[in-house]
Amino acid sequence: MRSPDLLRLSRILGRIFFRLAGLSWRVQYVRTVSLRAGRARNRPAFFAFWHGRMLPLVHTHRNEGVTVLVSQNRDGQYASNVLHSMGFRTVRGSSSRGGFKAVQEIAAILRKGFDCAITPDGPRGPAETLKDGISHISRLGNLPLVPIGSSGWPAVRFSSWDGFILPLPFARVSVVEGRPIPPYKKKDDPQKWVKRVETELNRVTACSDLLASPSVIFFTCIIRMLGAILHPLASLALLLRPTRERKERKGNVKLSRLRPVWLHGSSLGELNGLLPYAEYLKGNGIPVWVTCFTPSGRSFIDRMGLEGSYIPLDIHCFAERFIQRVRPRAFVLAETELWPNIIFKAVVSGIPCMMINARLSERSVRGYRFLGSLTAKLLSCFTGILTRSGEDRRRFLSMGIDERIVSVSGDSKMLTDHGDPPPAWRAGLNTDRPVLVAGSTRKGEEEPLLKAAESAGYFPVIAPRHLDRIDEILDLMVRMGFSPVKWTELTGSGIDTLDFDSVLVDVHGVLAQMYGTGDAAFVGGTLVPIGGHNVLEPIMRGVPFIVGSFYSNFAMVVDKLTVSGIAHIASSHGEIADALTRISNNALKRENVRIEFENIKGNVLGDFASMMKRTGIIETDKADEKT
């Protein structure tokens, strides 16, 4: 008995499958521009998609004459037969066999203005990792590269190297077409270009998974219903607000023609953290639009001379109106303040979303887990998430977020420079002894610090984290034999009228400058299990510092600076006294300590710059050009 011709049969069966299953799929095609790419729509393109996501695209781009690069092995022949049956053309070759000739053929077809497609991680992987050939094809073909992601539910995911997805009949299929990427040029950095393509491919793939997820369908229905209910109530409540706020909360902002980068910080603290990034973007010729939630934040935006507004209320129509008017080229969110409607609208609109200063507590993780995989799927659509610490990164990953987009960068809020203190502040201390400034101290930290200062011969200046403890700390200092004076009394009286050997700072807002009056600093929240406060403030002023053993919030910075003798770790009054003695003997120059701060600042901004370049927001850093 004759065995069946499987190669011929694959052509017939493939056509039958796509006719039946493909026509039963409920396809949602999302694009970031007004018209789909493709020669059939007068927009010829070079398509790229991951190997495991090709099946839905055979249906959505059938009979358009797209030429697909297929490997020369037997599996490739089966694939080629199916593609021919659906109106595709093929060129045979891969990185291991016939690659050079295939690159030339594909490039020649692209130069003639015809569509081509490639799976840049095929034919054997590693999965979702670009190979070098795509940049050569792009340069020779000289057509924009269009990344595409696809997904489906319900679907079968095979245990193959590429995690091949087969949507079942009547499945919900989502296809997301990314922003066209200009063809690779000889002058381009090949690694940066490949990274940009890989980043956009990962984004559109994650977005397609999000849109196909049944939990997202349910979620969008719920929030649309809630929005419809809350819309009249929100409009009524806004009648009591000032005219400008009322308009901006509804997304009625002035029309932007410059396509800015949208930066959002809820209140003053987050907005301060955004300032270094705003300055960096404007320095590279990129306009910014800053939003906030609080009235004090809105006043800050005006005071700093920035273009911006209130963030719209998280109702679908308000978010859509705002995005249509601002037309942001990217959305940068400070910390982990999630606005579901706004973020979802930005993601499906193809706006690259990023998060800086990202933080996540264990309590927040438990709360987000209540939503199942929804939060992880939404945040996996981000281009990058820059966390404050390794602990924050671990918590993000524990939620199931793609590890490729989560990295540790630091907290830019800590980079705000308040300037050197007035010379009169140090003169007002009226002491010849070296000065220890202990900042943001917590309950249980003052006593060992005062003992250590006395042992090492330092003049102590105590600035507690909470001012409601002032009387408690004053009593402690007196019991220990000190003659303290409050900072308000010191600055409000003549020095000659006071007899003191220590200072208790009883006002907020002066600590960042106060560090500059010291010869050494202690950063609070580290002798007790808090995690530590801002260790960058003392080194900003050129002052070496001491921390206790609980410094997890700034572990990377502290561990690095201990090597150079700028940071010292101590867990008892004896160890603190020894550290103070080492600081006195070392006599580090303030300029050298400040250089370390500039290096840290450069690293934080460098991570942000890399994220901007991966999305094509910034092609070439002007600082790099000067270098």
Domains (range + CATH), the chain? 6-212 (no CATH), 216-415 (3.40.50.11720), 423-588 (3.40.50.2000)
- Radius of gyration from C-alpha coordinates of the chain: 30
pLDDT at residue 256 in the model: 81
- Give kind and range of the element (H or E) at residue 58: helix 55-60
How far apart are the C-alpha atoms of 37 and 39, rounded to whole Å? 7
pTM of the model: 0.82
pLDDT at residue 96 in the model: 58
Question: Token pair for residue 137?
Answer: 């094809």
Residue 277: what residue type?
Y
Q: Which residue has the tokens 């927009």?
A: 43
pLDDT at residue 10 in the model: 63
436 backbone dihedrals φ, ψ, rounded to 5°: -105, 120
CB-based contacts of 158, cutoff 8 Å, min separation 6: 164, 165, 166
Nearest C-alpha neighbor of 527 from the set 610, 615, 465: 465
Question: Which residues of the chain, if any, have pLDDT below 50?
Answer: 1-4, 623, 625-627
pLDDT at residue 206 in the model: 94
Nearest C-alpha neighbor of 461 from the set 425, 504, 420, 490: 504
How far apart are the C-alpha atoms of 50 and 119, rounded to whole Å? 5
Q: Tell me the torsion sign for CA atoms 576, 581, 585, 589.
A: positive
pLDDT at residue 494 in the model: 61
Write the pLDDT tens digit of every residue in 34-56: 788 988 888 999 999 999 999 99
Q: DSSP string spanning 403-447?
A: GGGEEE---GGGG----PPPHHHHHHH--SS-EEEEEEE-TTTHH
pLDDT at residue 626 in the model: 41
pLDDT at residue 627 in the model: 32
Nearest C-alpha neighbor of 12 from the set 90, 64, 85, 89: 85
Write the pLDDT tens digit of every residue in 450-503: 999 999 999 999 999 999 999 999 999 999 999 999 999 888 766 566 789 999
Q: Residue 372's Cα: distance from chain center in Å?
A: 22
Dihedral-angle region of residue 122 (phi above 0 means left; psi in -120 to 50 means alpha; beta otherwise): beta
DSSP single-letter state for residue 68: E
What are residue 441's DSSP bridge partners?
464
Nearest C-alpha neighbor of 462 from the set 474, 479, 480, 454: 474
Instruction: Please count the residues of the chain.
Output: 627
Question: Token pair for residue 305?
Answer: 């001379």
How far apart are the C-alpha atoms of 184 and 200, rounded to whole Å? 15
- Give kind and range of the element (H or E) at residue 464: strand 459-464
pLDDT at residue 1 in the model: 38
DSSP single-letter state for residue 125: -
The 10 Å CB-count burial string (b at 16+, else e) for 388-403 is bbebbbebbeebebbe
pLDDT at residue 3 in the model: 43
